[in-house]
């Protein structure tokens, strides 16, 4: 990597955010200038199909502290954040959203907490403009479920907007699982934490890519990545049904032998078959989720592929050196790509 290590690295994952990028860059500069002039802004383009790349290229041409990491396709926000971690050179790293829902004006308070000794500074969302009732309630349910299923404490309403000390970033880079839940990984690695609060703004332009299906998939990745309790619950349900069925059949047999009451009707039998079949299918589904994830992990494909790096001096070396050796060593030449 380039020898100079700036004080701060700002990572902004981008996917079809052409309308917001210039304003984001302006607000980042305004928020960072009172803190330090020694910073870098890294835009990680995650397969945008609009003019986001060209807008970032123009920003980088006018500002030597701005860089573009262009991925070869859309890999998702979590791998895009990891790409930012791999290329960031700062002593502290801050992830911001490109849709301007996370205000850059909070950065001075976050940096102050870091300078006071915190190694992780979370941004806690105290309110959100334009966030519907259903979205708020589903978020509460998700964090409630995570607290009961996982041994890792997940802070409710803490978003990906946070400051990470360099040594925290090093540990996150060593976690190369494919089904990533960054909020859980940050809690898992530990370190000293503090927090600031902010009010999330509505989108200033563009459309959110987080639909219902994507949010459900993200929640499932979080649950299956940080808990094996669903498998245990499935086993406990099966055990409970087996015990109940055994007791029920014993009662029927006793009644038939000693009280000459015949076993009549098929409704109970059919209901029991459907109930047991449903439990078996759910259990198979849970097993399939875990086995499928093991299968994807076993392939050892790179988590992302960099198409090119645009920006400050030393970018070629940074692109080659940023991805950890275990990723490149485990991938075949065809899989390694230009990263």
State the pLDDT at residue 43.
Answer: 93
State the pLDDT at residue 335.
Answer: 38
Model confidence pLDDT, tens digit, residues 252-296 = 667 666 666 565 655 566 666 766 777 777 777 777 777 777 777
d(CA 212, CA 222): 15
More confident call, 111 vs 226: 111
Q: Quick one: CA dihedral 131, 125, 100, 310, positive or negative? A: negative
State the pLDDT at residue 184.
Answer: 79
Residue range 71-75: mean pLDDT, rounded: 88
d(CA 267, CA 140): 40
Model confidence pLDDT, tens digit, residues 175-215 = 888 777 787 788 888 888 888 888 776 655 555 555 566 66
Q: Where are the domains of the chain?
A: 8-209+300-336, 229-298
d(CA 186, CA 152): 10
Residue 213 makes CB contacts below 8 A (sequence gap 6+) with: none
Closest of 69, 77, 30, 53 to residue 222, by C-alpha: 77
Q: How many CA atoms lie within 13 A of 55 on its CB side?
A: 22
The class level of CATH for 8-209+300-336 reads alpha beta
Residue 13 and residue 47 in contact, taking contact as beta carbons nearer than 8 Å: no
Residue range 81-110: mean pLDDT, rounded: 88
Residue 52 and residue 18 in contact, taking contact as beta carbons nearer than 8 Å: yes
- What's the distance, CA 145 to chain centroid? 16
């Amino acid at each position: 990597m380039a020898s100079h290590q700036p004080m701060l690295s700002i990572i902004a994952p981008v996917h079809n955010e052409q309308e917001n990028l210039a304003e984001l860059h302006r607000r980042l500069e305004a928020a960072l200038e009172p803190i330090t002039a020694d910073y870098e802004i890294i835009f990680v383009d995650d397969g945008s199909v609009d003019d986001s790349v060209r807008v970032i290229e123009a920003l980088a041409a006018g500002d030597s502290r701005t860089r573009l990491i262009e991925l070869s396709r859309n890999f998702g926000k979590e791998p895009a954040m990891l790409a930012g971690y791999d290329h960031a050179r700062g002593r502290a790293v801050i992830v911001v959203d490109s849709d301007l829902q996370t205000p850059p004006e909070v950065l001075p308070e976050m940096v102050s907490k870091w300078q006071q000794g915190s190694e992780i500074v979370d941004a806690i969302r105290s309110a959100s403009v334009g966030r519907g009732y259903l979205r708020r309630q589903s978020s509460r349910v998700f964090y409630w479920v995570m607290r009961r299923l996982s041994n890792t404490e997940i802070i409710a309403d803490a978003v990906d907007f946070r400051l990470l000390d360099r040594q925290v970033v090093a540990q996150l880079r060593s976690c190369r699982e494919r089904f990533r839940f960054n909020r859980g990984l940050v809690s898992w690695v530990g370190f000293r934490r503090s927090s600031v609060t902010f009010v999330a703004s509505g989108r200033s332009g563009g459309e959110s890519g987080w639909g219902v299906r994507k949010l459900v998939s993200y929640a499932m990745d979080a649950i299956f990545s940080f808990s094996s309790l669903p498998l245990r619950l499935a086993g406990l349900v099966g055990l409970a049904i087996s015990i109940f069925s055994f007791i029920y059949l014993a009662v029927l047999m006793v009644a038939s032998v000693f009280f000459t009451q015949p076993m009549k009707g098929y409704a109970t039998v059919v209901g029991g078959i459907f109930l047991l079949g449903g439990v078996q299918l759910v259990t198979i589904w849970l097993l399939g989720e875990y086995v499928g994830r093991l299968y994807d992990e076993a392939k050892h494909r790179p988590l992302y592929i960099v198409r090119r790096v645009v920006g400050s001096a030393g970018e070629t070396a940074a692109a080659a050196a940023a991805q950890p050796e275990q990723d490149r060593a485990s991938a075949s030449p065809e899989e390694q790509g230009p990263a």
